[in-house]
Structure 1
Amino acid sequence: SSRRLPADGLDPRVKTLNYLNNIMAKVEAKQAGCIEAVMLNNRGEVAECTADNIFMVRDGILATPAPHCGILQGITRQTVLELAAAEGIAARETVLTRFDLYTADECFMTGSGAEIVPVVRIDGRTIGSGLPGEVTEKLRLAFKKLVGSR
């Protein structure tokens, strides 16, 4: 499967418009019947999706890959972390594995265009109840209120 390019080779904090790696992952996902791909770093840790950051919730705690995992530190990602703090939702930036995502209560992606998108299946596994979760919905509504979207 496609991996995120190593941070020491192409700094993910810099938007270079070199999306070949991401496009390859997206094509692979589409061929597997998926809508999006979760990209891993060279250590096999969760990094991000092809054009979005990823978050998970377990036991009410929000988690997202830490910057050292090779992610683009997106504006929407940062806004969601700030909204979580304002809403009293504990959040942490940490190392995540595929197993963490598989066993999450909730999962969602964030991006400037996408905003907050619930994720209910990963690799054919149902996440939580298979429906958008309470924390995801709370943050989605807070984000929409902040940016004035519908």
Structure 2
Amino acid sequence: MEEAVRRNQKTNGYIRLVVSRGEGDLGVNPFLCKKASVVIIVGDIQLYPEKYYEEGIPVITSSLRRISPDCFDVRIKSLNYLNNALAKIEAAQSGCMEAVMLTREGYVAECTGDNIFTVSNGILYTPCLTDSALEGITRNFVMEISKKAGMEVRETHLTQYDLYTADECFLTGTGAELIPVTRIDGRIIGNGSPGVWTKKLSNLFKEAVHA
């Protein structure tokens, strides 16, 4: 990995490690592949234009439900993104850059490429991992710095009602870092601008990551 970074001459960038089953026939039996293939991608990534970190973004709720954990455990970080890609297309067709995905039971899971948080009455909420949410590294780090900042953090079941009535909302991800959400399904969140806690946590995140 260090050699890949050196060859790409990166001091600040994005690294993705991809492990596949390796060379083999066209069947689905992985045991016919003798050795796994490892691909190291080193590049730049920025999922959102800079202005959206100041203004916030609108999102929609996708009509596509998140794959249930009794079918596929979405907590595994994989490139099985067809479900996410279809929801992303739905978002783009609605003029949005992201879509909230619900579980089969109607609880909020995550977005197509980001975890989601809300703030209500000074308390930070995020979907529990059993609601088909990926345990993102950025998600966990934001929860950590939030607690250090004096916030109460709760992992719980969230519904669309909780999103619509939240004081603040933001998304987290490796490429997205921490980006405010100011409108969901056409409904204005809070006062329509990035909230106080969202700004504070964003600043704390940047101080820690870019120090």
Structure 1 match to 2:196: 134
Q: Identify the residue that residue 19 of structure 1 maps to in structure 2.
A: 81
Match of 1:109 in 2: 171
Instruction: From 127, 130, 142, give the equivalent of 1:68.
Output: 130
Alignment of 1:1-150 (within 5 A): 1-148=63-210
CA offset at residue 12 of structure 1?
1.2
**Which amino acid is 2:154 matched to?**
R
Work out the CA distance in 2 between the residues paired with 1:85 and 1:95: 19
Give the Cα–Cα distance (whole angstroms) in 1 for the partners of residues 177 and 95 of structure 2.
23
Indicate the larger mover: 106-115 or 8-17. Answer: 8-17
- Worse overlay, 2-11 or 117-126: 2-11
Select the structure of larger CA radius of gyration.
2
Task: Provide the rounded CA distance (Å) in 1 between the counterparts of 2:111 and 2:203.
Answer: 22
CA distance in 2, matches of 1:78, 1:12: 16
Stretches of structure 1 lacking an aligned partner (at least 5 in a row): none
Partner SS, residue 29 of structure 1:
helix
Query: Runs of at least 4 residues of structure 1 off by over 3 A?
Result: none
Q: Which amino acid aligns with 2:191?
A: S
State the aligned residue count. 149
Which amino acid is 1:66 matched to?
C
SS of the equivalent of 1:28 reads helix
Query: What is the rounded CA distance, in whole Å, between the counterparts of 1:125 and 1:66 in structure 2?
Result: 24
1:33 is displaced (CA, Å) by 1.9
| Separation of aligned partners in 2, 1:20 and 1:84 | 32
- Identical-pair percentage: 58
Give the TM-score of the pair, scaled to structure 2.
0.69
Mapped to 2, the partners of 1:5 and 1:12 lie a distance apart of 7
Higher strand share: 2
Distance 1:13 1:134 in 2: 30
Q: CA RMSD in A?
A: 0.9
